[in-house]
Amino acid sequence: MKGKVYLIGAGPGDLELLTLKGKRLLGAADVVIYDYLSNPSLVNLARKDAELIAADFRGKRFSDGSVMNQDLINKLIVNRAKKGKIVVRLKGGDPFIFGRGGEEAEILVAHKISYEVVPGVTAASGLAYAGFPLTHRKYSSSVSFITGHEDPNKPGSSVDWHSAGRTGTLVFYMGIENLPKIVEKLINAGRNPKTPAALVEWVTRGAQREVYGTLSDIIKKAKAAKVKAPALIVVGEVIALHNKLNWRKKLPLAGQTIVVTRSRDQASRLSEKLNALGAEAIEFPTIEIVPPKSFKPLDTAIARLKDYQYIIFTSRNGVRSFIDRLMVKKIDTRRLCCKKIAAIGPGTAQTLKENGLLADFQANCDYSQEGLLKELLREKLAGANILIPRAEKAREVLSNSLRRAGARVLVVPAYRTIKPTVKFNPFAGKVDVITFTSSSTVSNFVEIFGAKKAKQLLQGVKIVSIGRITSATARKYGLKVDVEAKRSTIDGLVKAIL
């Protein structure tokens, strides 16, 4: 079996700037070798069984003493491909624009390994997130992308400083350490010291930061702001438009990096809402939804559906798992006619509706077991048979209270929540907010990092909880909840963050 390599541009950082082709191939890869400039959430798009290798060689040293460098990355790509693997080399921006993708492609050709290049949105294009175009009929008819960090072994410079010193917009990649030299060469080549200049860190990411000035003072401003790589250096008159055109800064959550701990299958809805408000949502699932250890209790309950007067769902996952099992058993939802169906909240009710079912009961405002119980206790439950398909481990408030009311209650596991394999550390960069949407997301987060380290990681990070039960769990672990949603829904959580 022959392997194949895909050199994929991950884009400048915003998760949604990955191309559709890049997303499709990432989901099909056996091995993903990714660098630190790519958004860490992108690894969540890989298969659960894919091998993930971080190719960050900023001083990274392995147990055998070897240091990660470009040669080692090349060997990793070739080694996995020769084993017949589908390899994705995920590179920040575009692989063929200052991404050393050309060098990696040459290595693959030398080893007769099949490969494809998937272009990405280069970092310079991401400067639209800073509010200025690279070209404009009034200000600049050309743009130049220039390396600010040439190969140190190359004799002389291949940059045409004479041309760069005349007109057009200039974008320097990897040049922060050489900023004084770049400014000096441009002024010596004829650029007016009053020409606008800008430095943009982590372009398109939640941590994006901009420093504006002119060639005459940008070095001083860079030192004062402690600008660090990765950052772009931009020179040109178009920068003057940033005050007028900086659309992103007008979004309410601009500049915020928010960690989303929902399960992989459920995180996207919350992430999309946060991204639309200007934040960068980093998906770090702390729970994974898996089948129960045995389907026998659920199958037995399904076989006796006619015996139950009420079916209660306490989560979206409970609905999905129950309906999925009906389909496996080749039983359609018409068998649920004449049953009274209860949903713990609007999200669960919506999932029922998507499956052609309407909830007869729903918690009012307090979307918890206690809230749903208030609605159910208005019924005459003495002697009633009630089925609750739910998570394998959950609070027993609802089932115990219904039994005290005289009902016969059968609780069956429809799914389990487990701690997933950790793929990356979301706190490697700046994090402003973390969201917890259930007690399980909190307890698993603490278990993943350990109680002491979890507290350390969350120092200076605002904790936003979806409701009082989740908040109580966080406090049990010694975590301070900064904001609690008034309504235990995704929309309520977003409102709390705002």
**Active-site residue, 60 included:** yes
User: Which two tokens mark 311?
Assistant: 């079916």
Question: What is the Cα–Cα distance from 466 to 496, expressed in whole angstroms?
Answer: 9
- CA-based nearest residue to 96, from 110, 79, 116: 116
What is the DSSP annotation of 213-255? EETTTHHHHHHHHT--SSEEEEESGGGGGHHHH--GGGSTTTT
**Active-site residue, 14 included:** no
Question: What is the Cα–Cα distance from 465 to 497, expressed in whole angstroms?
Answer: 9
**Active-site residue, 35 included:** yes
Whole-number CA gyration radius for the chain: 27
Question: What is the Cα–Cα distance from 165 to 230, expressed in whole angstroms?
Answer: 24
Q: Which among 85, 174, 366, 423 is annotated as catalytic?
A: 174
Q: Which among 14, 30, 35, 366 is annotated as catalytic?
A: 35
Q: At what angle do helices 439-449 and 468-476 cross, to 10 degrees?
A: 20
Which residues touch 21 (CB under 8 Å, ≥6 apart)?
Answer: 118
Token look-up 């191939």 returns: 25
Q: Which among 21, 60, 82, 339 is annotated as catalytic?
A: 60
| C-alpha atoms less than 13 angstroms from C-alpha of 259 in its C-beta half-sphere | 25
Residue 455 DSSP class:
H
Give strand pairing partners of 211. Answer: 199
- CA-based nearest residue to 174, from 230, 226, 227: 230
Active site members? 35, 60, 174
